[in-house]
Amino acid sequence: MKELTHQPPEKQKKLALISPKDLLRLPGKKALELILESPRPVTLVQSLAEEDLFWLIQEIGPEDALPILSLASNDQWQYLLDLELWTKDRLEIDSVNRWLHLLLEADPERFLIWGLREHIELIELHLFKHIEVRIMEEDESPSDFGEGYFSLDGLFYIRIKHEKYEQTIRQFLERLAQHNLSRFREVLLELAGVRPAEVEENIYRLRNVRLAEKGFLPFEEAIGIYQYFDPQSLLEKEPELRKVTQDQQPPQPVPVSMSLLIQDQDLFYNSLKRIEHGHILERLQMEFTAMCNQIVSADGLMIRDKENLADVVRKACGYLGIGLEKVTGGDPHKAARLLQKFPLHHVFRVGYGAALKLRWNTEKWLKKSWFVRESFALSFWGNYWKGILEGLLRKRPLFYTGFSEGEPYREFKTLEEITRCHRAFDQITTLDHLLSLLFAQTAVVHPVQAYHPVTYKNLLLTCWVRHHLGLPEETKSLGIEELKIFFRNLWVKEARPYRVDTKMKQAFLDWLQMRSDQAIDEILSQVGKTFERLFGELEKEYGSVSLKDLEPRYIKHFLVTP
């Protein structure tokens, strides 16, 4: 480690001013260099919140971060072990061995003292599973023990069962024997009384108690982050919540790593920028970290890199922004005041509740919808509407991107996305009701023989074509020649590319009115835009195709007989 006297005065001053936030903005290797060059590296490392040190070590790589581990406090070590040694409720033996080795390498003397005092059950459980211990009797000699046994005191003979754990366990036992031979013998004697299931359960319980303070609640408690919270209820509880949050003071270093991942220029971000009181920002940072940790617990995630953490942060910011907009109408100044009065997890639940309410409405409608009664699948509504419905019907509703962002589904980010899905849902339900009226007297016959599956588009248009051509009023596919006759009437004469004749649009509305017994104005107000887009699709899809070139297998807007 470089001494301060080896650095130019200007660099000494600069290094002395490094803050945890500055450190965490840097790549891992650069952060490690600055810590080691710092005039007070121990103070700098131990000033980091436990969460921030965890992510810094992940960024550097635990094996490369041994100098930082040697400077970390016992509480920081504890947080690392609590996160690293478990997969859900299962103790990862390989991780136990790895971190036993790392902490022994970082500071063997301190680890032995701390480990035997705070983690004797964990150490004894690891030894119990992976070593055999025999005590040499008076009439025995070392040659009486089988291959692989060794002794550090001439009394206890030990065999390590698994080769991959041999280096770490032997190193630990050797250091323990050198450190305190009596304690070494006590540990080996106590192995006979270890009950693995009880020990692991107790270690897990204590670990959960510690992590609960950081927001890592048990699943059954963490899931509360997704409970519906009405915006009006939030306002009604204002006096009580203001007192609780204003009196709260951060009792420990404030985590900043998650706050640094807030990059979207959304309402939550813009509201934070308007808060000037440092103690309020510290409280919000503590709450934000705890809330993200609660989301991790509720979603059953294993976060081991910053990209996965960034996904959680984006989710938190998105629903916080939606909640703020629901209550304040999108005013950043009002939103900033709201953040100062209420716990963040209540604002998150208001935002998430908007998506949750949309899912409930979708599930309720499905139970009585016409298309379900007629045994159609969600694909009946076409790819885009099907995608929206599938996203809303997830256990945790998601926004359908249509693959525009690489993946078809992601978390909602804005209230406008909630509104967009709501509009689509309203169009679907309105059209479903219209279809129930159109086919009140004529049942839909399954299956319809055609090249493509039945959708609301080809069902509507095919039934209209059959009416227009004077064919029997039934859900039956068309022959290609019948469709060509219809297309001659559909297009404006002499127009290239073809455009739908206004008279045909009116004929379509007249047919809808006659069959559904609804006024044309009512139909237009409810689904007029939907049908206008449908005619636009016809022009785009077939407007440049000559009638003689119409190929049944490529026609998806009409049911055509193979």
- Average pLDDT value for the chain: 90
Give, to the nearest 10 degrees, the angle between helix 74-84 and helix 196-212.
Answer: 120
For residue 222, pLDDT beyond 70: yes
- Residue type present at position 466: R
Average pLDDT of the residues in 412-435:
96
Instruction: Say what percent of the chain tops pLDDT 70.
Output: 94
Six-digit token string for 431: 């059209």
pLDDT digits (tens, 9 = 90+) for 356-378: 999 999 999 999 999 999 999 99
Q: Looking at the DSSP assignment, which residues form a beta bridge with residue 91?
A: 86
Q: What is the DSSP letter of 6?
A: G
Neighbours of 547 (CB within 10 A): 13
How many CA atoms lie within 13 Å of 104's alpha carbon, on the beta-carbon side? 19
Q: Looking at the DSSP assignment, which residues form a beta bridge with residue 87?
A: 90
Domain boundaries, the chain: 73-209, 211-354, 456-554
Six-digit token string for 383: 């790819």
> Is residue 1 a contact partner of residue 67, using CB atoms and an 8 Å limit?
yes
- Model's pTM, two decimal places? 0.86
- Residue identified by tokens 């023990």 is 145
Phi-psi sector, 494: left (phi>0), alpha (psi -120 to 50), beta = left
Give the integer Cα–Cα distance in Å for 172 and 140.
26
Alpha-carbon separation of residue 341 from 246, 277, 315 (angstroms)? 7, 13, 22
pLDDT digits (tens, 9 = 90+) for 99-133: 999 999 999 999 999 999 999 999 999 999 999 99
Give the integer Cα–Cα distance in Å for 392 and 382.
15
Strands (E), 155-301: 156-160
- Residue type present at position 176: L
CA angle 548, 551, 553 (to 5 degrees): 170
Those residues whose C-beta lies under 8 Å from the C-beta of residue 139, and which sit 6 or more positions away, are none
Residue among 23, 83, 88, 85 nearest 59 (CA): 23
> Is residue 332 a contact partner of residue 267, using CB atoms and an 8 Å limit?
yes
For residue 237, pLDDT beyond 80: no
pLDDT digits (tens, 9 = 90+) for 515-553: 999 999 999 999 999 999 999 999 999 999 999 999 989
Residue 509, φ and ψ in degrees, nearest 5: -65, -40
Six-digit token string for 447: 């299956």
Give the integer Cα–Cα distance in Å for 508 and 457.
13
Residue 448's pLDDT band (cuts 50, 70, 90): confident
> Is residue 361 a contact partner of residue 305, using CB atoms and an 8 Å limit?
no
How many CA atoms lie within 13 Å of 338's alpha carbon, on the beta-carbon side? 30
Burial profile 431-450: b = 16 or more Cβ within 10 angstroms, e = fewer: bbbbbbebbeeeebeeebeb
pLDDT digits (tens, 9 = 90+) for 72-103: 999 999 999 999 999 888 999 999 999 999 99
Six-digit token string for 544: 């440049």
Q: What integer pLDDT is reported at residue 160 of this predicted model? A: 95
Average pLDDT of the residues in 434-442:
89
Q: What integer pLDDT is reported at residue 232 of this predicted model? A: 85
> Is residue 462 a contact partner of residue 477, using CB atoms and an 8 Å limit?
yes
Give the integer Cα–Cα distance in Å for 140 and 351.
73
Six-digit token string for 16: 């002395």
For residue 264, pLDDT beyond 80: no
Residue 148's pLDDT band (cuts 50, 70, 90): confident
pLDDT digits (tens, 9 = 90+) for 472-501: 888 888 999 999 999 999 999 887 899 999
For residue 457, pLDDT beyond 60: yes
Q: What integer pLDDT is reported at residue 387 of this predicted model? A: 97
How many CA atoms lie within 13 Å of 215's alpha carbon, on the beta-carbon side? 19
Average pLDDT of the residues in 49-63:
94
Is the bond into 447 cis (omega within 30 degrees of 0)?
yes
For residue 244, pLDDT beyond 50: no
Residue among 274, 189, 41, 493 nearest 181 (CA): 189
